[in-house]
Amino acid sequence: MKSTLKNILIISCIALFSNTLFAKGLTLSSTDMKGQMTENQVFKGFGCQGKNISPQLSWKNVPKGTKSFAITMYDPDAPTGSGWWHWVVFDIPSNTNELISNASKLNNLPKGTIQGKSDYGSNEFGGSCPPKGDGFHTYVTTVYALDVKTLGLNKNTSSAVVGYMLNQHTVEKSSIVTYYQR
């Protein structure tokens, strides 16, 4: 009886945790972002004194049918009524699985990749810089696996339109959430 109960318990545990152990969904990671934004990812300007370095990002478990990728960093807590786009990168070739730290400023993005306009008005990464005393802001960095090679947009397309097109062509996505206050 004890042996049977033990076997049932083992089988139940395996069944319960098998989805977690063997999950293969698209996964985004970063060696630069670990829960809180660092000085490297803080904007230089608007009263902030950061280094404005785009984070290292890598992804794995790419879904079948992926023809390109896009990356966004978005702050839904910005006191604008519509959030704040910190980074919009699209038309990243499907054979790419990493962007190095500071790729935005070093112009070290894969050929054909487009950096859209951030809400700072530039076509590059713009780090976190919430208003003083506004509490912690949430920064959602997302990689999108897309079903098209190109979105057919250019670097001057608004972030909202890019976001709309991403939602139309997303096969799968994965995000990292970080926080920052000043």
Collapsing DSSP to helix, strand or coil, 64 comes out as: coil
Distance of CA 115 to the CA centre of its chain: 14
Each domain of the chain, given as residue ranges in start order, spans 24-180
pLDDT given at position 16: 40
Say what the pLDDT of residue 94 is: 98
- For residue 84, pLDDT over 50 is answered with yes
Non-local CB neighbours of 124 within 8 Å, separated by 6+ positions: 54, 87, 104, 105, 115, 118
Residues 180 and 78 sit within 8 Å (Cβ to Cβ): no
Q: Provide the pLDDT for residue 119.
A: 96
CATH architecture for segment(s) 24-180: Alpha-Beta Complex (3.90)
Hey, what amino acid is at 118?
S
pLDDT digits (tens, 9 = 90+) for 37-78: 999 999 999 999 999 999 999 999 999 999 999 999 999 999
Q: For tokens 């839904």, name the residue.
A: 76
